[in-house]
Structure 1
Amino acid sequence: MNYRHAFHAGNFADLVKHAALLQLIAAAASDPAPLRIIDTHAGAGLYDLAGPEAQRSGEAEAGIGRLTSARDAPAEFAPLIAAVKRLNGGDKLARYPGSPWLAAEALRPQDSYLGCELRPPEQAELAQTLKASALKGRRAAESLCADGFAVAVERCPPGGPVLVLIDPPFERADDYAQVVRTAAAVVRMNPAAQVLVWLPLKDLETFDAFLRDLEDATDAPILAAETRMRPLADPMRMNGCALVLVGPDKGLEPFLDTVCRWTAETLGEGGTARVYRL
């Protein structure tokens, strides 16, 4: 599998993931202590919705396009919608922000963001995104061409607010195991840390096995949210997505319930959602 996010930017999974990311960053703002954000698979940071990849897949039109034009969109999506409109200078959707852009824009002066990307061309784009005039000089945002799993553990401070976003392409057979090891290591080093993991939902067996491994690896609180866009009948398709938060959730459960339910029921095909603690 050769995953390229340019085909999928702004799709339903991005809506769920990025709404949750912005909510966690906003919740951290109540603490004056510096927030450290580590993004293990950052990508390019910005995506061209008029490009051939996005146009060919049509996923952005079915995702962020429908969200921004929906009259019944929950208030929980408002920060994401506002960020997308700021990026585009209005209602026209020409670009979609990845997690690096969203996180860097939300940083306070005392906060910092570190994005990791293994593919050199995308890391070069990411570096340029973070140096853009809208961000330069105001926020501590940097990128590395490095293994994000290793960096998350190496650069996690032992105390204070930390948010680690793990969003791998799941191209490698050991990605699930790497996620478990990394999340467990981070919260073991810093009990105050939050690890937000995004995963595809293809079949329940794979996802349930991941949750069992994660429970065995850590005693930290675990909150899981499933967005099923269609019945999980074909394991060869991405039938939905899941978010798993390891560490203190700071009231995220009702937020995720609203976001996942609206996405599944409004944008899905007989979609359903559920949020639960392990």
Structure 2
Amino acid sequence: MLSYRHSYHVGNHADVLKHIVLTLCIESLKEKEKPFLYLDTHSGAGRYLLKSEHAEKTGEYLSGINLLWQQSNIPELLKTYISILRRYNPFDELKYYPGSPLIAKQLLREQDKLNLTELHPSDYPLLRQEFSKDKRTTVLREDGFAQLKSKLPPQSRRGIILIDPSYEIKDDYQKIPAALFEAYKRFATGIYLIWYPVVSRTQTQKMIDGIVNLGIKRISQFELAIKPDNNQKGMTASGMIVINPPWKLHEQMRTVMPWLKSTLDTEKTGNFLIKELVSE
């Protein structure tokens, strides 16, 4: 049940898209002084060594963050994301990749709060160690989906919620619409980020349709495909469903996505999607 380790897939094209969207959304919340909560349902280990046995076995980062790292013409909108990477890699070599919790850790202010959950027995201690001295942060070894009930709404009534399970457990595709419905009932003004892989387009689309049919307003989709859909094993694309997107996000992604596709889609067989699924 808990065999998935993100260390095999760290820094791939899906991580890059997810963390760019996350960074832009966090930065938008910081435009107001009022504090907010960052809630991460499936946090992982926090920090990953790209030269580890796991990462080297798949080499997925080589066609992901490694391609961005080599670029000199980084778009202005990506400079905050890249600056976080440079804090963990102060020299030219790309050695470490920060997961979502560490990106949030670098971006959040003193008045903000982080709530992180991870069930994996190997990753949880690593995550806890990363945040052992951070008084803003609560790290729990609990079911991430359960946090959407127990931790919402935040006291500040402002927040960003990242939901990114491994989807190794196929029930995750069914769990997400139901969990979102419960979360939204409690906290309708939060920014919800739902990451998804495209391994089976049919399965992914069924989940997206389930989210659209919840009756929730203001839902957007941002997807990056490196390969065309196919029936072979492996992920061809990934995306982010964003509920209550910041008002600038569509415009920002219209700038970012063409550059991202050009940089990561080396075989020129993919595409990208920016779509409003449900309006106001």
TM-score (norm 1): 0.92
> For 1:250 and 1:180, how far apart are their aligned partners in 2?
23
Contact 1:117 1:144 in 2 (8 A): yes
| Identity fraction in percent | 30
Secondary structure, aligned partner of 1:115: strand
Counterpart-to-counterpart distance in 1, 2:232 and 2:174: 19
Distance 1:57 1:105, change over 3 A: same
**Residue 34 of structure 2 is aligned to residue 33 of structure 1:** yes
Measured in 1, the distance between the counterparts of 2:124 and 2:39 equals: 15
SS across alignment from 2:81: helix
Mapping 1:46-195, distance limit 5 Å:
46-131=47-132, 136-137=133-134, 140-157=136-153, 160-195=157-192
Residue 238 of structure 1 aligns with which residue?
Answer: 235
**What is aligned with 1:260?**
257
Displacement of 1:192 in angstroms is 1.2
**Structure 1: how far apart are the matches of 2:256 and 2:125?**
32
Matched residue type, 1:155 = K
Deviation at 1:142, TM superposition (A): 2.1
Aligned partner of residue 231 in structure 2, secondary structure: coil
Cα deviation, residue 275, structure 1: 0.6
- Please tell me whether the aligned partners of residues 148 and 182 of structure 2 are also in contact (alpha carbons under 8 angstroms): no
Partners in 1 of 2:224 and 2:10 — Cα distance? Answer: 17
How far apart are the structure 2 equivalents of 1:249 and 1:182?
22
Q: For 2:153, give the aligned amino acid.
A: P
The one-letter code matched in structure 2 to 1:128 is: Q
CA positional deviation for 1:181: 1.6
Task: Kindly indicate whether the alpha-carbon contact (under 8 Å) linking 2:38 and 2:160 is maintained by their aligned counterparts in 1.
Answer: yes
Partner amino acid, structure 1, of 2:142: A
* Deviation for aligned residue 1:267: 1.4
Contact 2:36 2:158 in 1 (8 A): yes
Q: CA deviation at 1:222?
A: 0.6
**Structure 1: distance between partners of 2:157 and 2:164:** 22
Whole-Å separation in 1 of the counterparts to 2:258 and 2:207? 22
Residue pair 2:173, 2:204 contacting (<8 A) in 1 also = no
66-75 or 218-227, which moves further after superposition? Answer: 66-75
Farther-moved stretch of structure 1 (76-85 vs 155-164): 155-164
| Matching residue's letter, 2:21 | A
Retained in 2: the 8 A contact 1:193–1:248?
no
Q: Post-superposition shift, 1:93?
A: 1.1
Q: Is 1:229–1:265's contact at 8 Å kept on the other side of the alignment?
A: no
State the partner residue of 2:207. 210
Residues 68 and 263, structure 2, Cα contact 8 Å, conserved in 1: no
State the partner residue of 2:276: 277
TM superposition shift of 1:183: 1.8
Equivalence for 2:217: 220
- Of 150-159 and 5-14, deviating more is 150-159
**What corresponds to 1:43 in structure 2?**
44
5+ residue gaps, structure 1: none
Q: CA RMSD in A?
A: 1.7
**Uncovered stretches (5+) of structure 2, i.e. residues with no partner:** none
2-structure distance, mates of 1:75, 1:184: 35
SS for the counterpart of 2:197 is strand
What's the secondary structure of 2:239's corresponding residue?
strand
CA distance in 1, matches of 2:73, 2:230: 29
| Letter in structure 2 aligned against 1:253 | H
Instruction: Return the offset for 1:58.
Output: 1.4
